[in-house]
Amino acid sequence: MNEKEIAEIRRRFQPQHSNITQVHGCYVNSQGEIISQFGQSLASASEEEAESILSVLKRTLSGTLGKQLNDIVFETRQVADSDEHRMLMALRGSGLKDQEAVQGFYQRVIDSLQMEGPYLILLAHDTYDVPYRLKDGAPNPDGSSEVYAYILCSVCPVKEAKPALRYNVPDSVICSRGPDWLISPPELGFLFPAFDDRSANIYNALYYTRKTAENHPEFIQGVFCTEPPMPADQQQETFREILAGALEEDCSYSLVQEVHGRLTELVEEHKASKNPEPLTVSKHTMRGILEASGVPEEKAQAFEEKYDEAFEGGAVSPKNLINVKECVVRTANATIKVDPDCGDLVETRLINGRKYILVRVEGDVEFNGIQVQFDREPPEEEQGETPSPEE
């Protein structure tokens, strides 16, 4: 799925646009036991409650593609004959009315998921009359191309709110409030089938994880029986390791800055193009970037091989490889953060055999919020040797 397709489904989660009439779910305690089950009608709920429930479900379609949102791809054999795919199709086909399928799904999630504390498993079913698109991309309200039926699952932690004092406005008194159980935003969830090319694709699901460092691989393996994608944070750490390992002594500040800049340019160009398809970089693209940045051919080839092995030949989002929002220079006892567009203000130098990081200043300088002036430059005879660029 691309950004436009996700946004189109996200707009469904409003009372006036949704065909979701009931939300099914169960409450699971910290020991993995189902304590209660429910099927809550949105029609009988107040408008505020219905909006809040749909808002929680919609969070399962939030985040960035390749980070919080990832495609789950089923093999052909799974679609043809497998318990995991058959169960999802039964949930979707029955509109969550097949109680045996619902109960089996709850138990599969519980058996697979490793989560501290109690949580809710929420299930919703919706049908969407997909409108035709006019030549300008606008929807045509006079016709639809197909009916897209899908299920959405959200797994939400439940946290206990401690007793507290509250002010009762009608009675104008201060009184106590007992402990309560609050539903947190989804920790993980998925949409099935995927809405690819604005049509149902039963070979794919869209998986959501709130944390970019933890995508709950045990859930993906237990529910979908597929290999989980590498978490976004781990992709970035892996990229750093193979870049430093392949370049070795050539991994200078200026070279890494150049690579960072070229990847940032790709991200900015893709954003300016307004292309809804996610941007990825292959091993060949990365090798081209390294060679254009001055990396020797043999080391660029070594990087390409390690990149291919680490990411199993797949293309990776450049946003998962670098932080496009900031440039951080870190030492054992100091951290310098610079706007990515101003990375050239930072330089490395060897002065009298010692390593230094130099930051060229433009404008005022503050120390703990106090505007300070620069110390006067010492007389020429007191100055050390002229700084020379680090080899």
Residue 143's pLDDT band (cuts 50, 70, 90):
low
Q: What is the pLDDT of residues 7-60, one digit of tens each?
A: 999 999 988 888 998 999 999 999 999 999 999 898 888 889 999 999 999 999
Lowest mean pLDDT of 11-20, 35-44, 61-70, 371-380, name the range: 371-380
Residue 390 backbone phi and psi in degrees, to 5: -70, 135
- What is the average pLDDT across 352-359? 87
β pairing state of 188-192 and 22-28: unpaired
List of residues 6+ apart from 127 with CB closer than 8 A: 19, 147, 148, 149
pLDDT at 121: 97
Q: Is the model more confident about 332 or about 385?
A: 332
Residues 142, 134: contact at Cβ < 8 Å? no
- Residue 191 predicted with pLDDT over 90: yes
Asked whether the predicted pLDDT for residue 336 surpasses 50, the reply is yes
- Going by DSSP bridges, is the β-strand pair 327-330/335-338 parallel, antiparallel, or unpaired? antiparallel
DSSP state letters, 65-83: BTTTEEEEE--HHHHHS-H
The pLDDT of residue 391 is 44
In this prediction, residue 140 carries a pLDDT of 63
**Is the predicted pLDDT of residue 328 greater than 70, yes or no?**
yes
Q: Which band of pLDDT confidence, cut at 50, 70 and 90, is reported for residue 126?
A: very high
Task: Name the residue with higher pLDDT: 278 or 386.
Answer: 278
The pLDDT score that the predictor gives to residue 332 is 85
* Strand order across the 388-389 sheet: 354-359, 346-351, 388-389
Mean pLDDT in residue range 169-183: 84
pLDDT at 96 over 90: yes
All residues at 6 or more sequence positions from 379 whose CB lies less than 8 Å from its CB, including other chains: none
Q: What kind and span of H or E run contains 369?
A: none
| pLDDT band, very low/low/confident/very high, at 383 (cuts 50, 70, 90) | low
| Confidence band for 375, pLDDT divided at 50, 70 and 90 | confident
pLDDT per position as a tens digit, 244-264 = 999 888 888 888 888 988 999
